[in-house]
Chains A and B, each alone.
Chain A
């Protein structure tokens, strides 16, 4: 997007392209860009037009990522219900257990098989890892709501949470890259239906 006409956020455009098969990587961004420039931007202004664009990009992302979100949510429910120790953490942070690694590896594999792009696998595995990490806080909010107030009493806890999030995302990206690399170099699956 290097022309002078109004353009949606670059990060959203890059995210959208990373989710698409090579055969769709022009047509779908082109459709959204056309609607953005011709209708949304003139009628809504930049902020709301950007929000419109991001919403539709996230809808495309959701169509790709939802099986992985279901898998990580199922793993969380299972791991909360079973006694501790059965699923050891590989790194001292939430969302970095052996089974987390397997789900994220699969997410990376699934993503890159779906589009033939390693970037799709990395994005999907990172999103899966992020949501898997957030589910710990959702669980805490439901079971011990007082824990959510702790960081406001001791702001250093925010730093600890940020570090843990960084570790979980790094873990997710690493596992995702491995899964995506495997998915990229294996023959295409049934998910990649359109060739041209």
Chain B
């Protein structure tokens, strides 16, 4: 079973942003234990994607973590702006 994490995170983040043209989701590295995914959003969207006290960011992490746990991997998500 191959879950496409880039697409999953893209779908999770896309409705939140005002500047979809500046949204970038990229797999950074993958090894046997973990996957690192980099999310880059427009400067103005950063606050909305992270949320109050990282609430939204953590929700996104938890959902991705659940999806990744089925293939026995950990997932790290970095959220950053330009």
A and B together in one complex: no
